[in-house]
Structure 1
Amino acid sequence: MSFHEVVFPAALSFGSSGGPERRTEIVALASGFEERNATWAHARRHYDAGLGLRSLDDIHAVVTFFEARLGRLHGFRWKDWADYKSCAPSETPAHFDQPLGVGDGVTREYPLSRIYASGGVEYVRPISKPRVDSVLVGCDGRELAPGSKFSVDHQSGVVSFASAPEAGAVLTAGFEFHVPVRFDTDRIEINLAAFEAGEIPSIPVIEVRV
């Protein structure tokens, strides 16, 4: 899949709407009970980039970005302002925010993930597009210095250690991240008169698997 490692203008995504979608099959039984089955292991996020447009310069920026991606052809990074950190949006990422794994003395590569916990239930979301230079890593509670100790593939979200962490070592991480997305339309239609009167064009964006 073709993917451009470029971020949609953050000032425009700030005013967008959107969030996660899940796919659940529900069968109503004759007894009145239901059988429910989740057909997707992970949610898929949808956004509307048009809601962030406030000026003709904003329209110009979006059209330029859209043309450079060739419409739906190439994916790109999107900042979801409601969920873009390993911690709450009002907090600063720290090296102990999220579990990364437990060392076994052999494994050197560990993928980033974010845990959503509520009511004793956890969902683990893979993080494949961390923001460049935002990843902090800890080992047994101590923050590690990047470079000599570990490196990060910002295109896949994999943390690689220079040497395999010893068996039993508790690895953690903190980071900011983007959502891999693409435009969900090959056409942008702008009516300038309607725009100046307050009508906002719809520009759908959808998450992609990478």
Structure 2
Amino acid sequence: MSFHEIRFPADLSFGALGGPERRTDIVALTSGHEERNTPWAHARRRYDAGLGLRSLDDIEALVAFFEARRGQLFGFRWKDWSDYKSCKPSRKPGGEDQVIARGDGETRSFQLVKTYRSGPGVYARPITKPVAGTVTAAVQNVEQREGVHFDLDITTGILTFREPPLAGVEITAGYEFDVPVRFDTDRIMVSVASFQAGQVPDVPVVEVRV
């Protein structure tokens, strides 16, 4: 897949509207009950980048970024200011934030994940675009150092230990992360007069699978 490992300007994504989207197929039965199912294992996030624009300089930066991505052709990183940490927004990520796996004595590579819980419901989201320099890890609460105990592929979110963790030990990680996205349009319609009057262009952005 065509993807540029560059982040959309974070100051422009601040204030953008968006969030997760699910797809649910619903069949209404003659009894009045419903059958519900989903073909998606993971949510897909959508955003409107236009709402983060505050000046004509912002528009210039947006157009430059759009042209460099060739519209919808190349994906890029997006900072979702409402959900970009392995911990609560008010905290700093730490190595014990998220349980990503348990060791089996053989496996060395593990996908970063973020788990969402509410009541009995649990959802594990793969994190494929961690932010370089923010990832910490621990094995059974013992801190592990990147470049010493493990290596990280920031393009996939796969963490690889130099030595396989022992069987049964808990492997945890903390990090900041981006969302892999692309523009969901091949054109941007901008009117300087309308923008100065308070109207911003629609710039849809959609998450992509990587």
Instruction: Name the TM-score class by shorter chain.
Output: over 0.9
SS in 1 for 2:12: helix
Which residue identity is paired with 1:46?
R
1:20-71 superposed Cα distances (whole Å, 9 cap, x missing partner): 0000011111101000011211000000000000101000000000000000
Counterpart position of 2:121: 121
Note if 1:100 corresponds to 2:105: no
Counterpart position of 2:42: 42
Give the Cα–Cα distance (whole angstroms) in 1 for the partners of residues 169 and 128 of structure 2: 23
Counterpart position of 2:169: 169
Note if 1:146 corresponds to 2:143: no
Which residue identity is paired with 1:203?
V
Q: What TM-score do the two structures reach when normalised by structure 2?
A: 0.99
SS in 1 for 2:137: strand
Q: How far apart are residue 148 of structure 1 and its match?
A: 1.3
Give the Cα–Cα distance (whole angstroms) in 1 for the partners of residues 55 and 173 of structure 2: 39
SS in 1 for 2:59: helix
Give the Cα–Cα distance (whole angstroms) in 2 for the partners of residues 33 and 100 of structure 1: 37
Counterpart position of 2:3: 3
1:52-93 superposed Cα distances (whole Å, 9 cap, x missing partner): 001010000000000000000000000000000001111111
Unaligned runs of 5+ in 2: none
Counterpart position of 1:191: 191
Give the Cα–Cα distance (whole angstroms) in 1 for the partners of residues 100 and 194 of structure 2: 49
Give the Cα–Cα distance (whole angstroms) in 1 for the partners of residues 126 and 179 of structure 2: 11
SS in 1 for 2:57: helix
Q: How far apart are residue 168 of structure 1 and its match?
A: 1.5
Give the Cα–Cα distance (whole angstroms) in 1 for the partners of residues 158 and 169 of structure 2: 18
SS in 2 for 1:159: strand
Which residue identity is paired with 1:75?
G
Q: What TM-score do the two structures reach when normalised by structure 1?
A: 0.99
Counterpart position of 1:130: 130
Give the Cα–Cα distance (whole angstroms) in 1 for the partners of residues 119 and 100 of structure 2: 22
Give the Cα–Cα distance (whole angstroms) in 2 for the partners of residues 37 and 89 of structure 1: 32
SS in 2 for 1:62: helix
Identical pairs, percent: 60
Counterpart position of 1:66: 66
Give the Cα–Cα distance (whole angstroms) in 2 for the partners of residues 25 and 136 of structure 1: 39
Which residue identity is paired with 1:19?
G
SS in 2 for 1:76: strand
Which residue identity is paired with 1:70?
R
Aligned Cα RMSD in Å? 0.6
Unaligned runs of 5+ in 1: none
Give the Cα–Cα distance (whole angstroms) in 2 for the partners of residues 8 and 92 of structure 1: 22
Aligned length: 210
